[in-house]
């Protein structure tokens, strides 16, 4: 995955008031941390940052005062109403370094007729090289019968990735759809009253 460059500005003002002023200017407050250094508070361009973070596990090149720093977004805080980014935590990374990320599970194929599939794990946690982070993994359910399960250790991961999720965790379960009980079944189930049940015991 190609890195995306974002021109950042060093930030000296802090607090809610300063953050609001930054957002009014269509910018996003952020912090760079990692590798034992002091956190670096920066301001990122709003529109460009939102476009970049549409990709999962995107590699960013944050340029501050003419110097580039590779980083990945570890926490993105969004306004739940307006769906705009309010703050970004960025983890500093280096080429060759392995880091932990979550990748989304994409289901492909169709299970056997008359069955449905349930995705028990929406994401898998993996370790991968920081400059080659995967975005997602495909899991095929083509032709699987009811009762079939796919566990985490049965998923083919992108090259260079190591599974960290519990290997025996069920990722996808194929089952038959459960219909609502018919009126006849409901009346039969309720035919025996509590008094009748107690008299038989």
Cβ neighbours for 39, distance < 8 A, ≥ 6 positions apart: 31, 32, 33
Residue showing tokens 């590699």? 59
The CA distance from 44 to 30, in Å, is 7
Query: Which domains are delineated in the chain?
Result: 4-93 (2.40.240.10), 100-175 (2.170.120.20)
pLDDT digit string, tens, across residues 106-143: 999 999 999 999 999 999 999 999 999 999 999 999 99
Smallest CA-to-CA distance from 77 within 25, 28, 11 is with 28
The separation between the first and the last C-alpha atoms of the chain, rounded to the nearest angstrom, is 68
Residue 145 structure tokens: 């019968």
pLDDT digit string, tens, across residues 28-87: 999 999 887 788 899 999 999 999 999 889 999 999 888 889 999 999 988 888 878 889
C-alpha angle 166/104/42, rounded to 5°?
105
**pTM here?**
0.75
């Amino acid at each position: 995955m190609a890195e995306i460059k974002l021109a950042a500005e060093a930030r000296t003002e802090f607090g809610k008031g300063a953050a609001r002023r930054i957002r009014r200017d269509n910018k996003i407050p952020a912090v760079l941390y990692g590798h034992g250094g002091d956190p670096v508070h920066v301001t990122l361009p709003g529109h460009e940052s939102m476009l970049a973070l549409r990709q999962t596990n995107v590699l960013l090149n944050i340029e501050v005062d003419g110097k580039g720093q590779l980083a990945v977004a570890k926490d993105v805080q969004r306004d739940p109403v307006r769906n705009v980014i309010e703050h970004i935590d960025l983890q500093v990374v280096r080429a060759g370094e392995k880091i932990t990320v979550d990748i989304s599970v994409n289901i492909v194929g169709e299970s056997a007729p008359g069955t449905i599939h349930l995705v028990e794990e929406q994401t898998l946690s993996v370790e991968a090289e920081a400059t080659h982070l995967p975005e997602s993994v495909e899991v095929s359910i083509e032709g699987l019968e009811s009762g079939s399960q796919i566990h985490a250790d049965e998923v083919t991961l992108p090259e260079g990735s190591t599974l960290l999720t519990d290997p025996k965790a069920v990722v996808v379960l194929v089952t038959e759809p459960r219909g609502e009980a018919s009126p006849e079944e409901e009346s039969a189930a309720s035919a025996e009253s509590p008094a009748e049940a107690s008299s038989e015991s």
